[in-house]
Structure 1
Amino acid sequence: MAPQRNRRPGFSRRAQYVLFIGYVAAALGALLGAVLLVLSTLNPPAYAIVRGALRELTTPVSSGLHGMRRGITGIPRGIGEYFGVIEENRRMRADIKRNRALVEKARQLVLENARLRRLLAVRDRGTEQVAVARLVNASSSSTRRYATLNAGYWQGVRTGQPVRGPEGLIGRILETSPNTARVLLAVDPESIVPVRRTRDGVPGIVTGRGDGLLEIRSATIANLPFRAGDLFVTSGTGGIYPPGIPVARVLRNTRDLAEARPLADPDRLDFAVVERPYLPPPPPAPKPESAPK
C-alpha cells in the first residue's frame, strides 16, 4: 500500500520541535512581561534601569531598520524630485530676482537692530549645541509620545535639555543612558511649552494632546481670538527652551483655545539637535549655619 501524502503534524518530529519551541517562547515572554510589570509597580528606579538597558540593546537594530525603511520609501520621492528639478530651479531663480530688494532691506534692518541693541546694552544669551544624533524611533500608537535618541550621557546629553529639528521644536530629554536618551515629545500630554505669537507677541502655553496635535491657550488675555495660520515660537520663559524656536501653527479660527499642528514631525526626521537649556538652573540655596553652642 502506498504511503499517505498528507500526514498529520503529530507524526513529524520537526513539527513537534517547532511547536514545543513556540510554547517555550510564549511562556518565557509571559514570564518576562509579568516580571517587568511587578518591577515597574514595586521599584520604578530599577525598572528605569532595565528599560535603559533594553534601549541600549535594541537601538542599533532599530537604527539599521530605520535606515533601510527611509532608503526604500525615499526611492519614489527621489525619482519625482529628479524629474521636477528643472522646473524647480526656474521657479527658484525667479524668486531670487523678486526677493533681492527684500533681502537688502532685511540686511539694513539687521544692522539697525544690532546698532540699537548696542545702544541699549541688551545682553543676549546664545544657545549651545550639545550633540547631533539620530532619532531612532517615535511612539505613535499610544497617548504617551516618546522618542529614542542614539546619544546619551557619554555624549553630554542630560535630563531637561531641549531637542529641536530643522523645522522646529521636538521636545526635551526625559531619561538618559550611556548611549541613548528618551525624549518627551512636545505632543505628549505631559509636555508644557511657553510660547508667543509672532505677529503680535502675545504669550501662550502649548500642551500636547497625545494624538499628534497641540493645544494653545493664552497666558494673559481671556477669550483671545486665534486665526488660522498663526505661528507660535518659544518665548524663553521657564529657562528650558531658547526663544524663537518654531513650535506650532494654528489650524482654524477660534477663541480661547486653539488646535494647532506641530511644525516638527519626529516620524519624518532623521536627526535632531540637543541643546543646553536657555538659562542654567539656579544654584541651590545655601544651608543655614547652625548657631554656635
Structure 2
Amino acid sequence: MAPPRHRDRGFSRRIQYGLFFGYVAATAGIVAAIALILIARFQPLAFEGIRGLALDATAPFTTATRPIVRGATSLGGDIADYFGAASENKALRARLAAAERQVIQARATAAENVRLQRLLRFSGEASQPVASARIVGSNVTGNRRFATLVAGSADGVRSGQPVRGPEGLVGRIAEVGRHAARIVLLTDGSSAVPLRVVRTGAPVLGQGRGDGAIDVRATIAGAPGLRRGDLLVTSGLGGVYPPGLPVAVVTGTSGELATALPLANPAKLDLAVVLTEVPPPPPPAPIDGPR
C-alpha cells in the first residue's frame, strides 16, 4: 500500500527520540548545575568532596594530554625561534663584516707604523681628502670597469686622484666633469697599482683583470712567495696612491702569479672619498765626482 502523500518524508521516530533525549539531557544538566550551586552555598564540605571526585576522574585524562600540550607549547617556541633567528643572523653578519673591516684596517695601520720613518722621506706623504660623494652607477663592458662619482671639478676633483671607500682603495679618477667624475676601478684591464705584502713587506704589482679580480706579480727577484689570505696595501710608489691603503686579499696562487679580490666592492659602495695625489720622491742629488 502506498504511503500517504501528505506525510513528511523527513519525519521519523528516531528524530523524535533524539529530540526527547536531548531535552532530557539538557534538563538534567540544568538540574545538576542548580544542585551543585545549592550544595556549594549551603554545604561547602560536601561540595569539596564532589570537587575531589571530579579531580580524581579527570586526572588520567589530564596526565595523558599533558605531553601533547607540552609538545604544542615547545613547537610554538621553536617556530618563534626559527623566525627570530633570521633577523639575529643578519645582525650578526653585519657585526662580523664591521669587525673584519676594523681588523684589516688595524693590520694595515700596524704595518705602516713600523715603516713610518722610511715613508717620511716622501714629500706630501699625508694625502688629504678632497671630496666625499656618492657612487651612483658602474659601467661593465668587456674588460673595462668604471664607476660614476657625484663630484667634479667644482668640488676640487681632478683626473688622476685616488678614490677609496670604507673597506679600502677603489681606483682613481679618469675623467672629470663639472659635477661628476668617472672612476677607473682597480679591476679594470688598464689599471696597475704598486702594492706591498703586509706579511713580508715585499713590493708587488697589482694588474686589473677586467673580471672583478686583480693579478699580482712580484717586482723584485727572489721575493718571498705570496700565500692565500695575504693582505695587500698600497706601497706609495709611483706618485699617485698614498701608502698603507688596504687594497685586496690574495685568494689563490699559481707559480709566480697570484689572484686577489679587492676589499672595496663598488657594487655595494654608497660613499667614496677622493684623496690628493702623492707626488713622487725627488730625484737623488747628483754626486760630484773627483776633480
TM bracket, shorter-chain basis? 0.5 to 0.7
Residue in structure 2 matched with residue 267 of structure 1 by the alignment: 267
Aligned partner of 2:145 in structure 1 is 145
1:46-57 superposed matches below 5 A: none
2:88 matches 1:83: yes
Q: Matched residue pairs, number? A: 188
Per the alignment, residue 28 of structure 2 pairs with none
Q: Which residue number in structure 2 is paired with residue 185 of structure 1?
A: 185
- How far off its partner does 1:170 sit? 0.5
Q: Amino acid of the residue matched to residue 191 of structure 1?
A: S
1:217 aligns with 2:214: no
Query: Residue in 2 aligned with 1:175?
Result: 175
Q: Kindly tell me: are residues 176 and 90 of structure 1, through their superposed partners in 2, closer, same or farther at Cα, counting changes over 3 Å?
A: closer
**Match for 1:199: what amino acid?**
R
- Contact 2:253 / 2:259 at 8 angstroms: preserved in 1? no
Output the CA distance in 2 between the equivalents of 1:86 and 1:174: 37
Q: What RMSD over aligned residues (CA atoms) do the two structures have, in Å?
A: 3.8
Match of 1:252 in 2: 252
Task: Provide the residue aligned with 2:159 in structure 1.
Answer: 159
- 1:253 Cα deviation from its structure 2 partner: 3.6
What is the alpha-carbon distance in structure 1 between the residues aligned to residue 129 and residue 120 of structure 2?
Answer: 23
1:90, distance to aligned residue in structure 2 (A):
11
SS in 1 for 2:159: coil
**CA–CA distance in structure 1, aligned partners of residues 206 and 196 of structure 2:** 10
Alpha-carbon offset, residue 225 of structure 1: 2.4
- 1:198 aligns with 198
Match of 2:20 in 1: none
Q: 1:170 to 1:80 in 2, by over 3 A?
A: farther
Render the CA deviation track for 1:182-209: whole Å, top value 9, x for unaligned.
1111100100100010011100110100
Check whether the contact 2:164–2:273 (CA below 8 A) recurs between aligned residues.
yes
1:242–1:81 Cα change, 3 Å:
farther
* Equivalent pair of 1:149/1:182 in contact (CA under 8 Å): yes
Structure 2 vs 1, CA of residues 134 and 81 (structure 1 numbering), >3 Å: closer, same or farther? farther
Residues 86 and 148 from structure 1, CA distance in 2 versus in 1: closer, same or farther, beyond 3 angstroms? closer
1:12-23 aligned at under 5 Å gives the runs none
Q: TM-score, normalised by structure 1?
A: 0.56
User: Does the 8 Å contact 2:202/2:223 carry over to 1?
Assistant: no
- Quote the Cα distance in structure 2 between the aligned partners of 1:113 and 1:176: 36
1:235 maps to a residue whose letter is S
Match of 2:240 in 1: 240
Unaligned runs of 5+ in 2: 1-83, 283-291
Deviation, structure 1 residue 273? 0.4
Residue identity (%): 44
Provide the C-alpha distance between the structure 2 equivalents of 1:267 and 1:121, rounded to a whole number of angstroms: 33
* Alpha-carbon distance in 2 for matches of 1:188, 1:88: 29
Aligned equivalents of 2:185 and 2:247: distance in 1?
A: 12
Deviation of the 1:86 alpha carbon:
8.2
Choose 1 or 2 for highest CA Rg. Answer: 2
Deviation at 1:80, TM superposition (A): 7.6
- Specify the SS of the correspondent of 1:252: strand
Q: 1: distance between equivalents of 2:190 and 2:119?
A: 38
